[in-house]
Amino acid sequence: MPGLITGAAEHNKGLGAQFLSLVADCRLLAYVVDVGTLWLSGEAHPNITDRATWLKDQIIQQLAMLQHELGTFDSKLTDRRRCLVVGSKMDLVVPYMNDSNGRHNLWSTVQKAINKATLDMGLLDATNLDRVLLISARRGDNIDALVRCIQQHVRDICKMSNDESS
């Protein structure tokens, strides 16, 4: 839900209730966080000593805003069974590098930060961290994994719905 802004539910800001009414019918909600831009904005703060913790805190702020707006509109929208968390623009964090260890270390740092933020927010529990993905749409990084995750999760949701209705 990258288009959701603060005040959408309570004050009809942005697309507001119109957007949220469309979201209400979705079986799966992807919380999309622009981790690339967050990571780069951390470079502007030279006093940050632990960038991973700073990034986690920034991600928590984004997730909290999304969860608040969804819950304010309809508490059913915060059901963690419908949740997927996607960190986008990883090409800004991990530009093309010849050093595969450096790439892996940066990717791992961001993955740990977004996992911790997701757990701290209670969006998912430790058994569902496979629903937290980092992607770069520009380069195509992890897009196949995202598609597979969505397909599997929608199948699981449909199965749960069928089980509950029988």
More confident residue, 156 or 132: 132
63-75 pLDDT per residue, tens: 998 898 888 888 8
Place of tokens 């209400």: 24
The beta strand positions in 26-156, using DSSP E, are: 29-33, 83-87, 132-134
Mean pLDDT score across all residues of the chain: 85
Residue type, 143: I
Confidence tier at 14 by pLDDT (50, 70, 90): low
- In the block, tokens 């509109």 appear at 73
Contact 121, 113 (CB under 8 A): no
**Predicted local distance difference test score (pLDDT) of residue 48:** 77
The bridge status of strand 29-33 relative to strand 83-87 is: parallel
What residues contact 113, with CB distance under 8 A and at least 6 apart? 35, 52, 53, 55, 56, 59
Tens of pLDDT along 73-105?
Answer: 888 888 888 899 999 999 999 886 666 777 888
Mean pLDDT of the 52-59 span: 94
Q: What is the pLDDT of residue 99?
A: 67
CATH architecture, domain defined by 8-165: 3-Layer(aba) Sandwich (3.40)
29: phi then psi, degrees, rounded to nearest 5: -115, 125
